[in-house]
Each structure stands twice: as structure tokens, then as C-alpha cells.
Amino acid sequence: MTTIDKLDISVNNAYAVRTKMIEQINQQLRLDQAASIPPQTQIVDIYPKLSEMDLLLGVVPYHTPWAYFFPPKLFRTRRRSTFAFSRIAPTLGTQEEQEATEERLMEFAPQTDEEKQEKESLQECFKQLGKINGWLNFIVGRIGQFLQA
């Protein structure tokens, strides 16, 4: 059986070093004086917090934590699930409205080279939006299958 008197001297030295380090930390941080600090003490922080900014600017956080402003009135009544969207640019209207816009674009006769380039750019944009919407529908469909399983 081991007793204190049979321990190696290095154990006592390590204990003394640790005790001295703790005493130095207590002196540096003045922990012996911590009990004399009244509980009503306030620390002034000059950096504004989000709640203070909300009060100053009148901004109220809405349902999403990344958007601290009121949404447009058109979108306040809509509640969408993050897994229920099927279009990459819903601001272009419904699918029928987007198709009608594409048809009007096809019927448009450009008068200048700039208008011709704009028409081609918009046609490419609608074509790319169609591709991305197809991909998005596929992904959302797979998510639905995954959630059902």
C-alpha cells in the first residue's frame, strides 16, 4: 500500500507549482476582491445588440431569422413550406403567367440590334429557368419520396 511518505518528491513539487500558479492567477484577476463587487454593478457595452437596433429602427424580426424586415404586403398572407416550392422564380407569376409572358416575348418584333439582343437574352433566361424548375421539381419529388419512406 502506498502512503504519502512513500510518494516520489516530484508529486510534491508538482503540487507546489500548481498551488503557486493558482495563487498568481487569483492575484492577477483579483478574485479575493470579487465578493466586494455589488450585484447592481452595470457594465456599459457600446456595441449595439440586435434588440436595441430593433427598438431604434422599429424593425421587428419576422419568421425567418435571416430577414429582419417586414415582407411585402403581398407575401404576408402566404405561408410556404421550404419543401413545397416548385419554382425558382415565383415572382414571375404562376406557370401559366410565365408561359404567357414567353409567348408575348416570341411575338415581339425587335426594331434595333439592342432589342434583338435583349429578346435573345430573355429567351435564354426563360429556357434556363425552365431547366432549373425541372431540376427543382425532380429534387422536391425525391425529397417527398424520401420523407414517405
Query: Which sequence spans correspond to the domains of the chain?
Result: 4-36, 81-149
Return d(Cα 74, Cα 51) in angstroms, integer: 27
The grid cell for 28 is: 492577477
Q: How far, in Å, CA of 120 to CA of 108, rounded?
A: 11
Q: Quote the CA–CA distance of 24 and 46 in Å, as a whole number.
A: 31
Q: What is the pTM of this model?
A: 0.41
Nearest alpha-carbon partner for 126 in 97, 102, 108? 102
**Residues 117 and 108: beta-carbon distance below 8 Å:** no
- Find the helix or strand (DSSP H, E) in which 22 lies: helix 9-29
Whether 7 has a pLDDT exceeding 60, the answer reads yes
Over residues 34-75, the pLDDT tens digits come to 778 777 777 777 766 666 666 666 666 554 455 556 667 776
